[in-house]
Structure 1
Amino acid sequence: MAIKFGITDKGFISPTYEEWLDSIKDDLKSRFGDDIALSSNSNFGIIAEMFAWRLTEIAQQLELVYYSGFFSTASDTALDRLGANIGVARKIATKSHVQIVIQTDGEYLIQAGEEFETDDGIIFELTDDVITSKDKDGNWVGTGNLESEETGKMNNVLANTVTIVSNPDDTILDVTNPEPATDGEDDETDEDYRKRLVMENAAKEGPTRNGIRSALLNLPGVRDADAVDNDQDKVDEYGNPPYTVHVYVLGGNDHDIAHSLNDHVAAGTTLTGSKAINISDESGVVKTIKFDSATEKPIFVQVKVKTNISWNSDDNVADIKADIAEKINSLEMGQTVYLTKLYSNVYDKSGVEEATIQIGIAKDGLGNSDINTKRFEVPVCDADHVEVVVDG
């Protein structure tokens, strides 16, 4: 019988192994007679199965090639090549940066390259020399910039956690980071990269709202961006002056963001925000670009599960933590964390009979209500902030 295969008016058709085998057996019968032996241990049967298997493999590979030509279905290097066609590269993993305050016993030089770390072993390196001097309280204090040894989000440590001198020095009395570390990013996933490519295809970088968002999201380290437009002749609910645009950006370098806004915001637009970055345009004119950093809203989760004999104690707890954190982190700026939507990430694990989930913005403040975020807030969840309590 004739078998449909390849590109058709309904898309790409890839026959199954059984369909190939039936088609080959029919061909053999038409050429050698209906009474030939086609069992698995006959010569004709072995040949038919061998060809059917090879044709199945070839068809599957051709199907992958076909779907690698579309943003919605391409993956890995195929998606990278599609992105290169429109000039949008995948974001690579970056190191984290943070400022550190060092207190010493008298005036002291701490040389670039000195290493500091957190209690759990995340190492940072001093990027420039620091010389301590007396502050108003009479302490010898200096401030320096650190860069993480490794790349990835895990290096975006909380404030006051970089407190250890890797090579102990009696002259250094105390070190800490008053602010959280930022800029650390993992390699962009296919899913996140695909979203950017789709957005870029729908809204090119430019002066429109989506065009500005596309431009900002293409910057290294930027994870989300949005803007609040106040087109009224009075101050809006967020405190923005009349006829202004307030841009909020999560992550990224302030000067890169300022240059991007200068390049893409329409002429005559008045930007507002607490950050005011001075940049020089192509003609050398210094301009002040205003915007704000979006804020992360940490989400804490507790999952209580009643399990049966099918429960996998080695993997299921870690999988629940990772899946819930991933679902929350996939939300965009201003989106609500719906409690009920987290249950699917628990009940899809084998061995779960009953489950209850509580969420909150503090570990000691969990409840059964959804968590709303403001337009310039982004819900974030670390897998360590997901507690799984098992009742076996």
Structure 2
Amino acid sequence: MLHTVSNEHDKRQGSFMYDALVPPAEQFEKIDQAISFVKEKLDIGNLSGDELAKRIKERTGIDRKQATFSSGYVLLHGTGTANLGDLGETPGGVQFRITETKTITTSGTVKAQAVIAGSTGNVPANTITMFPVTLPGFTSITNPEPMTDGFDAESDEDLLQRYYERIRTPATSANKAHYKNWAKEVTGVGDARVIPLWEGPNTVKVVIIDGDKQPASMAIINDAQTHIDPGKKGLGEGAAPIGAYTTVVSATGVDINVSVTVTLSPGYTQEQVTQNITASLTKRLKEIAFVEAIVSYAKVGAAILDSEGVTDYSNLLVNNGTANVPINYEEVAVVGTVTVNV
């Protein structure tokens, strides 16, 4: 702004001209910054949180999948009445609410659901062992089976991926992309594969995995089936058109069993490193689910080496061999047994 003023005027700091131009110059700078900020938001990849969800909703109608509550059954020992809302808890503080009222004599099972939505409720079997509040007549509580189907709210990354899939793979006239999109609209479905004409004309098979890229539970399968083609009748009562007999199934899990000898980093125990390797392998298999047709022996080794507490490794066996493990079109790799020797 000073440059546009003739040099015949005094423009030095402290002069009238200088002081007159400073306030508007500062405001113009703020406006420029605001414009740059808004321009960045024109690229949907720069958005996050509610802004991202709102933009995607406006453009495609896709909603972010909300967190779901893990659920299952708990076994109560004693004689009394389990009431809706009674609580059980794990030693780690994860609470579960009984979702039905039931009179029990000696022992019996009741339905239960995590108090807080998300994956924290997916606890292993026999871990719900405490009563936060005493339940009259009952002496113990446990969960004979794992509690399942608790999923975190869809991440920005996954939501953006669904958005890109929608706009880059045109879903029209019930093509394969359409079936995949329909499946992934269902809460709990992490990905899907579509097999046309699998049992002859007008038949479609949709193979799904859950949000953790694991084999889907029966509850998720039923939800997806109802959304696409209720009852597999081809009546057009779901998303699929009339005459399209659609069957939704879960991918079959293929256990990836790993045995390895490691050199521990100072300060780490064998148990800690086993947990870290298991977490690293789980992350790796999640990344390749429905993407790659093999579990790479070399990349399993890389995942082990990237695990905290591992300085080096040797004698690696993956499914008792040293070769890649093939994963078929209707299968998904899952972590099996992890044996770590030191």
Q: Describe the shift of the 1:89–1:132 C-alpha distance in structure 2 as closer, same or farther (beyond 3 A).
A: same
Give the TM-score taking structure 1 as reference length.
0.59
Letter in 1 for 2:41: S
Alignment partners' CA distance in 1, 2:221 and 2:227: 10
Q: What is the 5 A alignment of 1:312-323? A: none
With over 3 angstroms needed to count, the CA separation of the structure-2 counterparts of 1:292 and 1:222, relative to structure 1, is same
Name the % identity: 23
User: In structure 2, do the counterparts of structure 1 residues 366 and 129 end up closer, same or farther at CA, with 3 Å as the change threshold?
Assistant: farther
- Measured in 1, the distance between the counterparts of 2:42 and 2:339 equals 41
- For residues 155 and 128 of structure 2, the distance between their equivalents in structure 1, rounded to whole angstroms, comes to 28
- Answering whether residue 115 of structure 2 is matched by residue 149 of structure 1, we say yes
What is the CA-CA distance between 1:320 and the residue it aligns to?
7.4
Other-structure match for 2:226? 259
Paired residue for 1:186? 152
How far did residue 88 of structure 1 move?
A: 1.0
Which of 262, 266, 277 aligns to 1:304? It is 262
Select the residue among 30, 48, 68 that pairs with 1:75: 48
**Residue number in structure 2 paired with 1:378:** 332
Whole-angstrom distance in 1 between the partners of 2:257 and 2:323: 13
Say whether residues 1:339 and 2:331 are aligned partners: no
Cα drift, residue 83 of structure 1: 1.0
2:193 and 2:207 in contact (8 A); partners too = yes
Q: Are 1:227 and 2:207 an aligned pair?
A: no
Where does residue 243 of structure 2 map in the other structure?
268
Letter in 1 for 2:68: T
Relative contact order, higher structure (CA 8 A, sep 6+): 2
Distance 2:96 2:315 in 1: 36
**1: CA distance, partners of 2:193 / 2:125:** 26
Amino acid at match of 1:76: G
Structure 2 CA distance for partners of 1:231 and 1:111, relative to 1, 3 Å: closer
Aligned residues of 1:296 and 1:377 also touching (Cα < 8 A): yes
Map 1:53-72 onto structure 2 (within 5 A). Answer: 65-72=38-45
In structure 2, what residue type is equivalent to 1:370?
A: N
CA-to-aligned-CA distance 1:369-392 (integer Å, 9 cap, x gap): 43443434433559xx88888x9x
Offset of residue 204 of structure 1:
3.8
Q: How big is the shift at 1:348?
A: 7.1
1:1-392 paired onto structure 2 within 5 Å? 65-85=38-58, 86-105=60-79, 108-132=80-104, 140-168=106-134, 171-172=137-138, 175-201=141-167, 202-204=169-171, 207-231=174-198, 244-251=203-210, 253=220, 256-262=223-229, 263-272=238-247, 291-296=248-253, 304=262, 324-333=281-290, 335=292, 336-342=294-300, 354-355=312-313, 358=316, 368-380=322-334
8 Å CA contact 2:221, 2:249 repeated in 1: no
Give a deviation string over 1:222-244, Cα, whole Å, max 9, x none. 222233445466xxxxxxxx874
In structure 2, what is the Cα distance between the partners aligned to 1:319 and 1:65? Answer: 42
Equivalent pair of 1:228/1:245 in contact (CA under 8 Å): yes
Which residue type is aligned with residue 83 of structure 1?
Answer: I
Cα distance between partner residues in 2 of 1:63 and 1:303: 53
Structure 2: runs of 5 or more not aligned: 8-24, 211-218, 230-237
Secondary structure at the counterpart of residue 125 of structure 1: strand
Output the CA distance in 2 between the equivalents of 1:258 and 1:349: 39
What is the letter of the counterpart of residue 148 of structure 2?
T
CA RMSD of aligned residues (A): 5.0
Q: Distance in 2 between matches of 1:218 and 1:359?
A: 38
TM-score w.r.t. the length of structure 2 is 0.66
